[in-house]
Structure 1
Amino acid sequence: MNKDTVIKHYEHTLEWVQSLTEVTEKEWRSAIADGKWSIAEIIAHFVPWDEFILQDRLKKFWNNKALPQAPDVHEMNQQSAERARKEERSETIGRFIAVRTELLQEMKKIETSRWTTPFLIGQTELTLLSYFQGLIKHDLHHMEQIKKYSLQKDDRASRSFFLK
């Protein structure tokens, strides 16, 4: 993995989230599985994390101090899920696209050589590449969940069509 593959992944997520305007409102709002979030909640939870990465990671990255620990994961995810339940799909997708586009622009500005420069988050030493590798894994996990859910929906629809 290198800077270009990270950038390509982030560009792909913009297109992919934009494509979610195609799912039905019911699919957008329904839990993807028992005890899981809806597509709306999944997409919304990326936004505060992207903002955090942009403001508290990338913009403070080069001051040679250990970067702050992340905020409370459960609390941040809970707040974003609640917001997703109240707002229109276009607003959730719009917020995702706005902040991820800004994050992408900042990432593109970083010289290639700096992507392998070690830095600290608390006591943990990372590089930008290893850091974004973890974030990409997280993105892909959720993208896979949504794809599986959407395919199940398609299967059910086609099965019920054949049963008529």
Structure 2
Amino acid sequence: MNKDTVIKHYEHTLEWAQSLTEVTEEEWRSALADGKWSIAEIIAHFVPWDEFILHDRLKEFWNDRALCKAPDVHEMNRQSAERARHEERSETIGRFIAVRTKLLQEMKKIEASRWTTPFLIGQTELTLSSYFQGLIKHDLHHMEQVKQALSTKRR
């Protein structure tokens, strides 16, 4: 996965998030399925992870030492989902678009050659390409969940 592919995906997610201003309030707030998050919670949970990548990962990738582990996934997701339940849709989408736009701007500044330079997270060797490939897979998983839920609800 090269830099251009990653950039295009992140640009597409901005358009996708913006399109969610068109869903009904019920669609925005309802769980996608039993035991699943709502669209609001899904969008909100991207924000702290993008912030983590922007502030704690990007500047550390090539400092010649292993990167620290990520924050507690469940706790960070729980907090972001809780916040989404209490804020306006425009605020949730606005926060997502703001941080993802900043992340995109920073990614564009990274030279193409850096995308294949190895680094360590704990004992795991990755490249920027493989790292973002995992993040994109995660985005696409949630985007597909939303698409499926909306198509089911609109039948």
Output the TM-score relative to the length of structure 1.
0.93
2:111 counterpart residue number: 111
TM alignment of 1:2-21, pairs within 5 A: 2-21=2-21
Q: Which string of whole-angstrom CA distances, capped at 9 and with x for unpartnered residues, describes residues 71-123 of structure 1?
A: 00000000000000000000000000000000000000000000000000011
1:65, 1:30 → 2: CA distance?
A: 43
Could you list the runs of 5+ residues in structure 1 that have no partner in the other structure?
156-164
1:79, 1:133 → 2: CA distance?
A: 25
1:76, 1:2 → 2: CA distance?
A: 29
Aligned residues of 1:45 and 1:81 also touching (Cα < 8 A): yes
Aligned residues of 1:47 and 1:99 also touching (Cα < 8 A): yes
2:67 counterpart residue number: 67
CA shift, 1:53, in A, is 0.5
2:32, 2:67 → 1: CA distance?
A: 34
1:51 counterpart residue number: 51
CA shift, 1:61, in A, is 1.8
What secondary structure is seen at the aligned counterpart in 2 of 1:136?
helix
What secondary structure is seen at the aligned counterpart in 1 of 2:125?
strand
Q: Which amino acid aligns with 2:8?
A: K
Aligned residues of 1:115 and 1:128 also touching (Cα < 8 A): yes
2:154, 2:86 → 1: CA distance?
A: 26
Output the TM-score relative to the length of structure 2.
0.99
Q: Which amino acid aligns with 2:12?
A: H
1:62, 1:6 → 2: CA distance?
A: 19
CA shift, 1:63, in A, is 1.6
What secondary structure is seen at the aligned counterpart in 1 of 2:36?
coil
2:61, 2:92 → 1: CA distance?
A: 28
Aligned length: 155
CA shift, 1:62, in A, is 2.5
Could you list the runs of 5+ residues in structure 2 that have no partner in the other structure?
none
Name the Cα RMSD after superposition. 0.5
Aligned residues of 1:56 and 1:67 also touching (Cα < 8 A): no
Moved over 6 A (4+): none
